[in-house]
Amino acid sequence: MKRLRVELGDRSYPVIVGEGVLEHAGELLRRAGFSTAPIVVSSDRVLGLHGRRLLGSLERAFSKCPVIRIGDGERFKNHQTLAMLYRELLRAGADRRSWIVAFGGGVTGDVAGFAAATYMRGIRYVHVPTTLLGQVDSSIGGKVGINLRQGKNLIGAFHQPSAVLADTAVLQTLPARELASGLFEVVKCGAIRSRPLLAYLEKNLDRVGGCRSDALEHVVASAARIKADVVSRDEREGGLRMILNYGHTVGHALEAATRYRRFTHGEAVGWGMLACVGFGQQLGALTGAEAGRLSALIRRVAPLPALEGIRCGSLWAALARDKKFDSGRIRMVLLRRLGEAIVRNDIEPARLRRFLSGFLAARGEWS
Amino acid sequence: MKRLRVELGDRSYPVIVGEGVLEHAGELLRRAGFSTAPIVVSSDRVLGLHGRRLLGSLERAFSKCPVIRIGDGERFKNHQTLAMLYRELLRAGADRRSWIVAFGGGVTGDVAGFAAATYMRGIRYVHVPTTLLGQVDSSIGGKVGINLRQGKNLIGAFHQPSAVLADTAVLQTLPARELASGLFEVVKCGAIRSRPLLAYLEKNLDRVGGCRSDALEHVVASAARIKADVVSRDEREGGLRMILNYGHTVGHALEAATRYRRFTHGEAVGWGMLACVGFGQQLGALTGAEAGRLSALIRRVAPLPALEGIRCGSLWAALARDKKFDSGRIRMVLLRRLGEAIVRNDIEPARLRRFLSGFLAARGEWS
């Protein structure tokens, strides 16, 4: 087991990564200072696969835990689920000292975390993420929230968890495409902050994809450490934390332009990084050799759904909604070199649009 | 104009109290660092009475402000109003850099503040309270939220405003009973923290009740300063901030036991303080002379609706729901002497219940 830490003064918390963490959840959380049984929020799917291990451990350490079941998937990340959570928390007698264990993927973490952020002006919660994306990214940093009909994550808060427990063994049960989705975020972590992680992935990608436990533990811990470190330095995305959005400007626009149906989040970020690599090279920010190396790694993670049929106009409209070019320039994260990101505030919209038009026309190739 | 300050590190903010603050709102907020027009949240009633003064000033300093109208009164402090606010914020094009002016009483402040706390993970907002209760209490300290069917303020957050502008001139238009409701909270501030404020009230209560502007400005600034000082020392009610709940344990229970129909909040707190004075005297925490002095002042603020027909059983049930006596003892704020509160953790439930039973039977007198 590897133990990291998000350093945020009196809101600091541990991130524990390793195979078998679930079985030790109860004792780990007792040691972290909890003394009463939590209320567990999860989905039928996750409880069916891993529920017994977590609940058994929690119940050995505390007592029987109430369980609130919510739907699985992005369409449940809404007001209805939130209202149901509030109701069930009240029914379970939750008060200011109660705490929640959010056990599942990003949706469970986001909505249960937001319920924790707002129930009686905020109660404690612990993330037990069961997807790779959750373990390396969304469970760390305190971003919680729900979607509105008008857009994703429009309602939310920064509410840091009290602990994150990432059991890499649960990743074995993930569908290959969901594992790959998380791997693109791992590649991103390497790209912005760690050449060693990139080198490890280049050498061990097959072992990671095959869920070899030492390899999984290594990449989850490495990527989670990068996220934890960035969040520790900039909790509310005032500066440094923006580098975590590498590949996301174009990625989000691709997701929106295809109505969130064609790409997983990671795949969209994969395409977004490929675009950034090409654009960065055009701006002279990245050498051809480094650009080629990162692109090759991204391509190796998993095949990306084609860009076929996405018009530059709709991609650009989605990007403009996301970014609001009111200053006349676009802010974008680019790489200075592999392992080192910079936030550029001076991107000329016309130039980016020209590049993206060519990128789409060449179906993701660039020259 | 008097300028106070809530000191909370990088979340510190000014509280500006005085007659005519509304007319200067625009320039005051420009000086506080705002550079774009805010989105104003208010009610028809408040806009009809004072809208032109505030909006005129804001529009001179910025540009035309979008106005979102919400219902007036506790029954609008709910999910429906919140969802409508989100929708209107989106329609107005609000983004992360937008800010809200919450212009109205406690309900407007609470719900608009909660919308600000959760819209796009939190945007800035400014309170412009138009009730005495708002000016001396609810606008300061960042407690925002909404009610659920199951109870008041069950959903909420701590989200500090960027400024509070309290124009004492608007208090002239308050119904007498609402002014009195706020005055009970002013008395509370004196009781827990300031003998000079109590002495001032004893001497000038008629001038305050008659809305003489120097008197209003003095009591609002004094009470707001006490609230600001307490919040600066304990933002999240971990300790000291609890003293602000003097009279509230019994007060809340009285409100709940009468379904929020008989008493204004301040009147319930008035009764709650009378009960605490009597109970404190019984415990030997307050001398008879001091108890008599505070009781006389409370009685002079305004006539309190009778306790008639409130059964001790239902009062006690409401109190138990609020406090959860799981440790076997009740925590209660009492006075050590006038102007000095202490938090007692050792109140024996049976003893308090006996006292309250007698208090109700004697219709609020005690011996």
**Tens digits of residue pLDDT in A71-103:** 999 999 999 999 999 999 999 999 999 999 999
Edge-to-edge strand list for the sheet holding A67-69: A2-6, A13-18, A163-167, A124-129, A99-104, A39-42, A67-69
What pLDDT does B326 receive?
61
What pLDDT does B321 receive?
82
Q: How many CA atoms lie within 13 A of B259 on its CB side?
A: 2
Q: Determine which of A155, A158, A234 to mutate to test the interface with B (most B C-beta atoms within 10 Å).
A: A155
Catalytic status, residue A241: yes
* DSSP symbols for A105-140: SHHHHHHHHHHHHHBTT--EEEEEE-SHHIIIIITS
* DSSP symbols for A261-316: SS--HHHHHHHHHHHHHHHHHHTTSS-HHHHHHHHHHHHHH-PPPP-TT--HHHHH
Contact A95 B154 (CB under 8 A): no
Per-residue burial over A118-142, b if 16 or more Cβ lie within 10 Å, else e, is: bbbbbbbbbbbbbbbbbbbbbbbbb
B95 neighbourhood in chain A, CB within 8 Å: 324
Q: Is the pLDDT of residue B190 over 80?
A: yes
The residues, any chain, with a CB within 8 Å of residue A27's CB and separated by 6 or more, are A57, A60, A61
What pLDDT does B366 receive?
66
Catalytic status, residue A64: no
Closest residue on chain A to B90 (Cα): A150
Query: If pLDDT is split at 50, 70 and 90, which confidence band does A347 have?
Result: very high
Contact A86 B118 (CB under 8 A): no
CATH superfamily of B177-361: Dehydroquinate synthase-like - alpha domain (1.20.1090.10)
Contact B157 A121 (CB under 8 A): yes
Catalytic status, residue A121: yes
Q: Is the pLDDT of residue A335 over 60?
A: yes
| Tokens 């295809």 -> residue | A258
Q: Is the pLDDT of residue A70 over 70?
A: yes
Q: What is the pLDDT of residues B2-26, one digit of tens each?
A: 999 999 999 999 999 999 999 999 9
Q: Which of A87, A122, A148 sits opposite B158 (nearest CB)?
A: A122
Closest residue on chain A to B322 (Cα): A95
Q: Which of A14, A39, A10, A12 is nearest to A221 (CA)?
A: A14
Which of the four CATH numbers 3.10.105.10, 3.90.1150.150, 3.50.50.60, 3.40.50.1970 does domain B2-172 have? 3.40.50.1970
- Alpha helices (H) in chain B, listed in sequence order: 25-31, 44-46, 52-61, 79-91, 106-118, 132-133, 176-193, 195-209, 213-233, 248-257, 265-282, 288-301, 312-323, 349-361
Closest residue on chain B to A157 (Cα): B121
- Annotated active-site residue in B248, B262, B267, B290: B248
Q: Is the pLDDT of residue A106 over 90?
A: yes
Q: Is the pLDDT of residue B322 over 80?
A: no
| Tokens 């011996």 -> residue | B367
What pLDDT does B328 receive?
80
User: Mind telling me how many Å the CA of B114 is from chain A's nearest CA?
Assistant: 9
User: Mind telling me how many Å the CA of B303 is from chain A's nearest CA?
Assistant: 33
Query: If pLDDT is split at 50, 70 and 90, which confidence band does B327 have?
Result: low
Q: What is the mean pLDDT of chain B?
A: 95
Contact A150 B95 (CB under 8 A): no
Measured CA to CA, the distance from residue B115 to residue B124 in angstroms comes to 10
Q: Is the pLDDT of residue A366 over 80?
A: no
What pLDDT does A326 receive?
61
Amino acid at residue number B129: P
What pLDDT does A318 receive?
92
Q: Determine which of B121, B138, B160 to mutate to test the interface with A (most A C-beta atoms within 10 Å).
A: B121
At residue B263, φ and ψ (nearest 5 deg) are -110, 145
A148 neighbourhood in chain B, CB within 8 Å: 86, 90
A115 neighbourhood in chain B, CB within 8 Å: none
* DSSP symbols for B118-152: HBTT--EEEEEE-SHHIIIIITSS-EEEEEETTEE
* pLDDT above 90: percentage of residues in chain A: 93
Residues belonging to chain A with any Cβ–Cβ distance to chain B shorter than 8 Å: 79, 83, 86-87, 90, 95, 117-122, 143, 145, 148, 150-151, 153-158, 324
* pLDDT above 70: percentage of residues in chain A: 98
Measured CA to CA, the distance from residue B162 to residue B32 in angstroms comes to 8
At A15, is the secondary structure helix, strand, or coil?
Answer: strand
Task: Report whether B169 contacts B153 (CB < 8 A).
Answer: no
Q: What is the pLDDT of residues A16-26, one digit of tens each?
A: 999 999 999 99
At B100, is the secondary structure helix, strand, or coil?
Answer: strand
User: Mind telling me how many Å the CA of B90 is from chain A's nearest CA?
Assistant: 8
Catalytic status, residue B24: no
Please report, for chain A, the start and end positions of each structural domain, with discontinuous segments joined by +.
2-173, 177-361
Q: What is the mean pLDDT of chain A?
A: 95
Q: What is the pLDDT of residues B156-179, one digit of tens each?
A: 999 999 999 999 999 999 999 999
Measured CA to CA, the distance from residue A242 to residue A264 in angstroms comes to 21
Catalytic status, residue A147: no
Q: How many CA atoms lie within 13 A of A187 on its CB side?
A: 33
- Report, as an integer, the average pLDDT of B48-74: 97
A111 neighbourhood in chain B, CB within 8 Å: none
Read off the tokens for B29.
């907020």
Q: What is the pLDDT of residues B269-289, one digit of tens each?
A: 999 999 999 999 999 989 999
Torsion of CA B10, B15, B20, B23, to 10 degrees: 20
Q: Is the pLDDT of residue A11 over 80?
A: yes
- Report, as an integer, the average pLDDT of A24-47: 97
- Report, as an integer, the average pLDDT of B299-324: 91
A154 neighbourhood in chain B, CB within 8 Å: 86, 90, 119-120
Query: If pLDDT is split at 50, 70 and 90, which confidence band does B320 have?
Result: confident
Contact A156 B86 (CB under 8 A): no
Q: Is the pLDDT of residue A327 over 70?
A: no
- Annotated active-site residue in B77, B124, B143, B218: B143
Catalytic status, residue B241: yes
At B37, is the secondary structure helix, strand, or coil?
Answer: coil
The residues, any chain, with a CB within 8 Å of residue B170's CB and separated by 6 or more, are B22, B49, B50, B130
Contact B148 A120 (CB under 8 A): no
Cα–Cα–Cα angle for B145, B149, B154, rounded to 5 degrees? 35
Among A87-91, B92-96, B363-367, which is the least confidently predicted range?
B363-367
B148 neighbourhood in chain A, CB within 8 Å: 86, 90
Measured CA to CA, the distance from residue A53 to residue B123 in angstroms comes to 40
Sign of CA dihedral B212, B214, B217, B222: negative
Measured CA to CA, the distance from residue B103 to residue B112 in angstroms comes to 9
- Annotated active-site residue in B53, B127, B193, B252: B252
DSSP 8-state class, residue A171? G
Query: If pLDDT is split at 50, 70 and 90, which confidence band does B56 have?
Result: very high
Q: Which of A121, A150, A324 sits opposite B158 (nearest CB)?
A: A121
What pLDDT does A363 receive?
86
Contact A154 B90 (CB under 8 A): yes
Catalytic status, residue A248: yes
Q: What is the pTM of this model?
A: 0.95
Q: Which of A46, A41, A30 is nearest to A82 (CA)?
A: A41
Contact A90 B119 (CB under 8 A): no
**φ/ψ bin of A132: left (φ > 0), alpha (ψ from -120 to 50), beta (otherwise):** alpha
Catalytic status, residue B159: no
Q: What is the pLDDT of residues B134-159, one digit of tens each?
A: 999 999 999 999 999 989 999 999 99
- Report, as an integer, the average pLDDT of A181-207: 98
The residues, any chain, with a CB within 8 Å of residue A82's CB and separated by 6 or more, are A111, A114, A115, A146
Query: If pLDDT is split at 50, 70 and 90, which confidence band does B356 have?
Result: very high
Contact B120 A154 (CB under 8 A): yes
Contact A118 B156 (CB under 8 A): yes
The arrangement of secondary structure in A2-173, i.e. its CATH architecture, is 3-Layer(aba) Sandwich (3.40)
What pLDDT does B246 receive?
97
What pLDDT does A325 receive?
66
CA distances from A161 to A64, A82, B11, B20, B180 (A): 22, 18, 21, 44, 42
- Annotated active-site residue in A225, A245, A255, A290: A245
Measured CA to CA, the distance from residue A260 to residue A252 in angstroms comes to 9
Q: Which of A119, A145, A156 sits opposite B155 (nearest CB)?
A: A119
At A74, is the secondary structure helix, strand, or coil?
Answer: helix
User: Mind telling me how many Å the CA of A232 is from chain B's nearest CA?
Assistant: 17
